[in-house]
Amino acid sequence: MANRHTIVLMQTSQNRATRTFMDYESISQAMDGICALYERKLKELNPAIREITYDISDLYNFIDGLADMSALVYDHSIQAYLPYDRQWIKQKTLQHLKKLASQR
DSSP structural state of residue 66: S
Contacts of 37 (CB under 8 A, 6+ apart): 22
Q: What is the CATH number of domain 6-102?
A: 3.30.2260.10
- Annotated domain spans of the chain: 6-102
Q: Residue 104 is which amino acid?
A: R
Q: Specify the pLDDT at position 2.
A: 57
Q: Specify the pLDDT at position 104.
A: 76
Q: Specify the pLDDT at position 87.
A: 97
b/e map of 27-42 (b: 16 or more CB within 10 Å)? bbbbbbebbebbeeeb
Q: Specify the pLDDT at position 52.
A: 86
The span from the CA of 32 to the CA of 26, in Å, is: 10
pTM: 0.89
8 A C-beta contact, residue 71 and residue 89: yes
**pLDDT beneath 50, residues of the chain:** none
